[in-house]
Amino acid sequence: MSCYLESAAQPSFANEMDYSALLDFKNLIVQDPNQIMSSWNGSIHFCNWVGVTCSSSDGRIILLNLASLGLAGSVAPSIGNLTYLTEINLANNSFHGEIPQEMGRLLHLEKVLGLAYNRFGGELPSSIANLSIWLSRLTIGGNVLRGSIPVGIENFLDLTLLGLERNNLSGSIPEVIGKFQKLEENDDEVENEDYLEAEETCLSTRSTIEECLVSVMRIGLLCSATLPANRMAMNIVVNKLHAIRDSLIQEPYLKYRKPHTG
């Protein structure tokens, strides 16, 4: 991961909207047991905040991954200002309130929209249908959403994972969904994978110690889920921890994030 040397307090004009959107997001967090948000401060550039990944070419935020961190709060409408996001994963937390309509402005979201297993309520916003037709994974299961599935979702023909389970959705499921040719089997391993996107970052050769620690915390939270059915299978836990250990000892590939000192 690149080390950004701009002052986080004074982002460039092009990225100021991204920075402000992150601050709005942070301000609505009411529970943060792992103190993840403490890294979201002016001492380092926002591209180095935990869970945030920026493009190496223009510094715009392309990934927001805060899955399985025990966070609680609501999601600010300004999340829709992160217009260069290709992936957002907030799964397995305690976010509540309605899913902002403004999420429909994330037109570059082509990889993941992961909101599963939170406490989101209200209706699934119709603007979701405005997202890229190349979206690969859409998971909203395990919330208290009501109403019908928005018209237009049948256009996401590249979906490999669609999770709508454990909600209060009503009405019929669009027939075309059954014709999605790229959908994977939604077994336990695939479901757990949605909550552990950070492991892929940790296990890369550009990983950081911070990312691997966050990965371990995520595994711990999944092992201690209240409902046994929601706990990660022990064989997957062992494999993940062994892989993280191996990643940590592969010097010199492990990189530290350098805080801004200027």
Instruction: Classify residue 206: in a domain, yes or no.
Output: no
pLDDT the model gives residue 201 = 46
Considering 3-17, 71-85, 243-257, the range whose residues carry the highest mean pLDDT is 71-85
Instruction: Classify residue 190: in a domain, yes or no.
Output: no
Q: What is the spatial distance between Cα 138 and Cα 151, in angstroms, rounded to a whole number?
A: 15
If pLDDT is split at 50, 70 and 90, which confidence band does 250 have? very low
pLDDT the model gives residue 122 = 96
- How many domains is the chain partitioned into structurally? 1
If pLDDT is split at 50, 70 and 90, which confidence band does 4 have? very low
Tens-place pLDDT, residues 169-212: 887 666 656 666 677 654 443 444 444 444 444 544 344 566 66
Domain holding 111: CATH number?
A: 3.80.10.10
Instruction: Classify residue 234: in a domain, yes or no.
Output: no
Instruction: Classify residue 209: in a domain, yes or no.
Output: no
Instruction: Classify residue 240: in a domain, yes or no.
Output: no
∠ Cα 55 138 211 (to 5°)? 45
Judge whether residue 2 has pLDDT over 90.
Answer: no
Least confident of 17-26, 32-41, 196-205, 236-245: 196-205
Considering 75-84, 131-140, 182-191, 250-259, the range whose residues carry the highest mean pLDDT is 75-84
> Position of tokens 């996107």?
197
Average pLDDT over residues 217-231: 66
Average pLDDT over residues 95-119: 95
pLDDT the model gives residue 220 = 74
Instruction: Classify residue 193: in a domain, yes or no.
Output: no
Q: Which distant-in-sequence residues (6+ apart) come within 8 Å of 261 by Cβ?
A: none
Of the two residues 142 and 177, the one the predictor is more confident about is: 142
The conformational region for residue 27 under phi > 0 = left, psi -120 to 50 = alpha, else beta, is alpha
Rg (CA), the chain: 18
pLDDT the model gives residue 232 = 64
Mean pLDDT taken over the chain: 77
The burial of 96, by beta-carbon neighbours within 10 Å (0-12 exposed, 13-18 middle, 19 or more buried), is given as: middle
Stated pTM of the model? 0.69
Strands 29-31 and 72-73: antiparallel
Alpha carbon 77 to its chain centroid, in Å, reads 16
Instruction: Classify residue 73: in a domain, yes or no.
Output: yes
Q: Give the range of the structural domain holding residue 129, as residue numbers without chain letter.
A: 12-178
pLDDT the model gives residue 81 = 96
pLDDT the model gives residue 123 = 94
Q: Among 141, 131, 117, 26, which residue's Cα sits nearest to residue 86? A: 131
pLDDT the model gives residue 155 = 85
